[in-house]
Amino acid sequence: MMALGADSFLITLIDTQHGRQEQRRLRQRELEKSMAWLKRMNARGYDVWVRPDGEHGLVLLAGVDLIDLQRLRERGFNPAAVLETGRQQYQAWLKLSQQPLEEPVRSVAAQGLVRGLARHGANVIVREDGRLAGFTNQQVLRAGGRHPFVQVAEANGGVAPAATVYLARLDHEIAKLREVQMERERGSRSHGQSR
């Protein structure tokens, strides 16, 4: 997560057996100091999830495989970080901007990036939280009864080369959608007043 440029994080611990959750907001130094505690919780069966706290310029695609990662790169969306969460299962953090983006922009951008991926049977999903590297994935059990460790496959922290053009196109599309929505709202108000 440090390679992605965030300095404040929301950590979510999920007890995979009982469904309990605990969240903490941590600055980068606090996260570093909390590693021993997080490792203890992970050893007790908790999954460790993380996301940047507050507005940011990142989107996360989960459930991607090597073919999806190649397709993203071919389209100019080189991931800022890729985590292997299980055998041939990955999460890709894409940095679309060094500047914070509003959540609706990130959401629309992520949905667009998913198009054209996972045509070979898997499901690529957009997530807010990603797994934290160095901890086990409690949802996957390998032969021998062990959970796989989440590992950093790559991390360059860079903005995707195609992001600037993509965001400019999205801004235009989002502006059109907002215009249509405002027209609908005006139409429903005027229709309600004419009764």
pLDDT tens digit sequence for 12-60: 999 988 889 999 999 999 999 999 999 999 999 999 999 999 889 999 9
Give Dmax (Cα) for the chain. 70
How much is the average pLDDT of 83-112? Answer: 91
- Bridge-based pairing of strands 151-155 and 81-86 is antiparallel
Q: Where are the beta strands (DSSP E) in 76-127?
A: 81-86, 89-95, 125-127
pLDDT for 115 beyond 70: yes
pLDDT for 2 beyond 80: no
The pLDDT of residue 142 is 67
Q: pTM of the prediction? A: 0.84
Domain ranges of the chain: 55-193
Tell me which residue has tokens 């894409």. Answer: 94
Nearest Cα to Cα of residue 49 among 84, 24, 17, 67: 24
The pLDDT of residue 127 is 84
Alpha helices in 44-162 (DSSP H): 66-74, 103-114
**Spatial contact of 57 and 125, defined as CB atoms under 8 Å apart:** no
Q: What is the pLDDT of residues 119-147, one digit of tens each?
A: 555 577 888 899 999 999 988 776 677 88
The pLDDT of residue 39 is 96
| CA angle (142, 143, 144) in 5-degree steps | 110
| Average pLDDT over all residues of the chain | 88
The DSSP code for 136 is: B
pLDDT for 98 beyond 80: yes
The proportion of the chain whose per-residue pLDDT surpasses 70, expressed as a percent, equals 92
pLDDT for 153 beyond 70: yes
Decide which of 195 and 9 is more confident.
9
Residue 52 CB coordination number (10 Å): 22
CATH class assigned to 55-193: alpha beta
The pLDDT of residue 22 is 94
User: What is the rounded distance in angstroms from the CA atom of residue 48 to the CA atom of residue 23?
Assistant: 10
The DSSP code for 172 is: H
171 sits in which H/E element: helix 163-193
The proportion of the chain whose per-residue pLDDT surpasses 90, expressed as a percent, equals 58
131 sits in which H/E element: strand 130-131
The two three-digit tokens of residue 16, written as one number: 């995979």
pLDDT for 192 beyond 80: no
Work out the burial of residue 68: count CB atoms within 10 Å of its CB; fewer than 13 is exposed, 13-18 middle, 19 or more buried: buried
Contacts 24+ apart (CB under 8 A), 16-19: 16/45, 16/46, 16/47, 16/138, 16/139, 17/45
User: What is the rounded distance in angstroms from the CA atom of residue 2 to the CA atom of residue 32?
Assistant: 10
